Amino acid sequence: MLRHIGAVSQLAGIRYWSTTHKQWQTLIVDAYALTGSQPSQRREDFSPEEMKEGKILYYVQVDNLSGKATYRMHIVEVSADRLVFDVENVSTMRDLFITFFHPGEVQAIYFLDHESENVWRYYSIVRTAKNASRLITGNESSAVNRAVAFYRYLVGIPTGEEPPAAR
C-alpha cells in the first residue's frame, strides 16, 4: 500500500465522470514527486522506505479544473495494519487568471486499515475553505465522482469504469 501511495506519478490519467460534461474525463493530467516544496525540484516517486511516520513529502499535481498545484503529504501513522496520511495544497490553485484555492484551502486525510489478507478498509475526509471559488466547489455530484476516482485508484479498480458514482 505504501508503494502505491508513494507512486504519485501514477496518479496521472485518473478518470472520473464529469456531471457537467456528461462524459468520462481525465481528472489528473500530470503528477510528480518533489525533493522539497519547490515545484522545480522534480524527482522519482517516493519509496516505501521514505514514507515513515511523521515524514513530510511534497508533490505536484495538475488537475483538469484547478490546474497545477504543489501539495504537502504528511505521513501520520504507518504500521502493518494501518496507514494514515493527510494532504494539503501549499501553493495557490489557479487556472489562467482565476484563483480557485489559496494555500491550505484544500485538505484531506486518508485512513487505511488492514482488515484481512487482501482487504483494506478505506475512509477519507476532504474539506475546502468556505470562501473558495464557487466555480469549483458548487457541484456535489462532481465532488463525489472525484472522490470515488481516487478511491478506485487506491484499491486498483479502473477509474473510468462504469457506473459512475453520481450522474
- Domain ranges within the chain, ordered by starting residue: 2-155
Q: Where are the alpha helices (H) located in the chain, listed in sequence order?
A: 2-6, 134-137, 140-155
Asked whether the beta carbons of 128 and 101 are under 8 A apart, the reply is yes
- Does the pLDDT of residue 129 top 80, yes or no? no
32 close to 44: Cβ distance less than 8 angstroms: no
User: For 108-134, what is the mean pLDDT?
Assistant: 83
pLDDT at 137: 53
**Mean pLDDT score, 142-146:** 82
* Distance of alpha carbon 20 from alpha carbon 18, whole angstroms: 5
108 — pLDDT class (breaks 50, 70, 90): very high
The pLDDT assigned to 28 comes to 95
Q: Which residues of 19-31 are buried (b: 16+ CB within 10 A; e: fewer)?
A: beeeebebbbeeb
Q: What's residue 10's pLDDT? A: 96
Give exposure, 42-80, as e/b (b: 16+ Cβ within 10 Å).
Answer: eeebbeeeebeeeeebbbbbbbbbbbbbbbbbebbebee
Confidence of residue 6 (pLDDT cuts 50, 70, 90): very high
The average confidence (pLDDT) of the chain is 88
The pLDDT tens digits for 46-77 are 999 999 999 999 999 998 877 899 999 999 99
Q: Give the model's pLDDT for residue 138.
A: 57
Which fold does the domain 2-155 belong to in CATH?
A: Alpha-D-Glucose-1,6-Bisphosphate; Chain A, domain 4 (3.30.530)
Residue with the larger pLDDT of the pair 83 and 40: 83
